[in-house]
Amino acid sequence: SQQGEEDPQALSIQEGENATMNCSYKTSINNLQWYRQNSGRGLVHLILIRSNEREKHSGRLRVTLDTSKKSSSLLITASRAADTASYFCATVARMDSSYKLIFGSGTRLLVRP
């Protein structure tokens, strides 16, 4: 089963509005990462938040982490049409001598101009 699950599955907003996406996970984590994927392309890393951090900012992005609720949120402020993409959260699971990222099913964001 997926470690991370995002909601909503799809979000449509007007340019200039804020977009909030949520992610829930099941097991304890070392960190949680958010990625963006433009249609038909690979994923691009946006931001990493460690388990001992509660909030992190990067430009128009704000990520929060609540380890007691096993949840995270990604806020994009003052959205632009170019923010249209799918957004995924991912958590790290240890496997043998390595680590793997487990991805959620993503939130498809549409920003209408």
Partner 1 sequence: SQTIHQWPATLVQPVGSPLSLECTVEGTSNPNLYWYRQAAGRGLQLLFYSVGIGQISSEVPQNLSASRPQDRQFILSSKKLLLSDSGFYLCAWTGQVNSPLHFGNGTRLTVT
CB closer to partner 1, 18 vs 38: 38
At position 47, the amino acid (one-letter code) is: I
CB of 8 to partner 1, least distance (A): 14
16, 1, 30, 21: which is closest to 106 by C-alpha? 21
CB of 59 to partner 1, least distance (A): 16
CB of 4 to partner 1, least distance (A): 8
Helices and strands counted in the chain (H then E): 0, 11
CB closer to partner 1, 35 vs 79: 35
CB closer to partner 1, 14 vs 98: 98
Residues that bind partner 1 (CB under 8 A): 2, 30-31, 33, 35, 40-45, 48, 88, 90, 92, 95-106, 108
Residues in the chain: 113
- Give the long-range contacts of residues 59-64, CB within 8 A, separation 24 or more: 61/34, 63/32, 63/34
